[in-house]
Amino acid sequence: MGLFDSKKSHQAGQVDMSRLPRHIAIIMDGNGRWAKQRGLPRTAGHKVGAEVFRKIATYCKELGVEYLTVYAFSTENWKRPADEVSTIMGLLKQYMLEAIESMERDQIRLKFFGDMSAISPELQEMVERTNAISREIDGFQANICLNYGGRDELLRAARAFAADCVAGERSADALTEAEFGEYLFSAGIPDPELIIRPSGEVRLSNFLLWQCAYSEFYFCDTLWPDFNERTLDEAIIDYQKRDRRFGGVKK
């Protein structure tokens, strides 16, 4: 079975298929609390959460969403217990191995946002392999934020732009938002129209700080391991009810 294989057809209900967001971003939160409620180790929650990611990525592709970005591991998550970090990295390795085998067949691109220098050499090599495969594919793209922080992304972009200015390749006075966006991990990808955070927390937690400028937010109490296709439908339906004016006035 490939990373995003699924025989299940979507049950969109009231979702307007003609007005789907091109890009959905999700903060996958609540794995630890889900496990604690069941008397299980936090690592058990991450294992179930990884399966939920597989299902939701598959469902997004089936619906016709073009991009899905998920917050898998932040720059702050290294502070967690060593066994928990090890489990997360092990799950990542497992799914990357599956992805390498199935991406071309299923026409699915996989991209990683974040500082890859902190992960193991083995995982870094896998990231390079998925990047190479993705360059040959057109289709749905899943972006995984790994060792990622929104502020860190902005600092890296600013440093890279400054270096290009010093080298005479860019002019600081001519900098535009579009040009600055070329230095972000998300270069070439449209900003998310919809950002979802399950688990009852109501904050961004350093996620896509530049890209979220005009995103619509959807918060729900569902813990990530309990998140399913219907939960995503409800988020999309709520998004489709909103009047997006981007600072203007509706005529």
Does residue 251 register a pLDDT over 90? no
- Convert the pLDDT of each residue in 129-168 to its tens digit: 999 999 998 899 999 999 999 999 999 999 999 999 999 9
- Convert the pLDDT of each residue in 65-118 to its tens digit: 999 999 999 999 999 999 999 999 999 999 899 989 989 888 899 999 999 999
Q: What is the rounded distance in angstroms from the CA atom of residue 29 to the CA atom of residue 148?
A: 15
pTM of the entire predicted model:
0.90
Per-residue pLDDT, 246: 65
Q: What is the rounded distance in angstroms from the CA atom of residue 30 to the CA atom of residue 71?
A: 12
CA 144 to chain centre: 5
Q: Where are the domains of the chain?
A: 21-149+191-240
Catalytic residue among 5, 16, 29, 138: 29
Active site residue 29: yes
Does residue 9 register a pLDDT over 70? no
* Tally of CA atoms within 13 A in the half-sphere of 149 that contains its CB: 9
Per-residue pLDDT, 105: 87
Active site residue 77: yes
Strand pairing class (194-197; 216-219): parallel
Catalytic residue among 5, 31, 77, 164: 77
CATH superfamily of 21-149+191-240: Decaprenyl diphosphate synthase-like (3.40.1180.10)
Q: What's the alpha-carbon Rg for the chain, to the nearest Å? A: 18
- Convert the pLDDT of each residue in 32-59 to its tens digit: 999 999 999 999 999 999 999 999 999 9
